[in-house]
Amino acid sequence: MTENEIAKQVMDAAFIIHRALGPGLLESVYEVILAKKLSEMGVAVERQVPVPIQFENIKFDEGFRADLIVEKKVIVELKSVERLQPVHSKQLLTYLRLTDLRLGLLINFGENLLKHGFKRVVNGLKDQ
């Protein structure tokens, strides 16, 4: 599957979940349910994946944790807030750079209409 095909699968599953549960639950609830739904759809998904940081040739495993990594190609960062802020996109872009992945999806389940809670973040700064 391409990154865009994966993104479509994730978005379809997120809409089903949001339609059923609505906004207002904890981020962790949406995370576990989205991971389960994607698995049921035959999509490989990992939860709370450590994203190490390298600084001055030292690797720190205590860096970050990506909410979901789907098919080892797309990072999904989940929020349950009133509105996404620029810092959320910056956080996801940092995860993409550290993992050398190209596409990330920021999903805010806190929105009344989930279509307003999606943001694609692309890592276009890879050195290759």
Distance separating alpha carbons of residues 5 and 41, to the nearest angstrom: 13
Query: Domain segments of the chain: what residues?
Result: 3-122
- Please report which confidence band the pLDDT of residue 27 belongs to, taking 50, 70 and 90 as the band edges: very high
Q: Which pairs count as long-range contacts for 46-49, CB under 8 Å and 24+ apart, including other chains?
A: 46/72
Q: What is the mean pLDDT of residues 87-99?
A: 92
Query: How many angstroms from the chain centroid is the CA of residue 52?
Result: 17
Query: How many angstroms from the chain centroid is the CA of residue 19?
Result: 19
| Token code pair at residue 78 | 């989940």
Sequence letter at residue 46? E
Q: What is the pLDDT of residue 11?
A: 97
Name which of 15, 16, 11 is nearest 70 in CA terms.
Answer: 11
pLDDT of residue 127 exceeding 80, the answer is no
* Residue carrying structure tokens 């339609």: 19
Residues composing the chain:
128
- CB of 86 closer than 8 Å to CB of 106: no
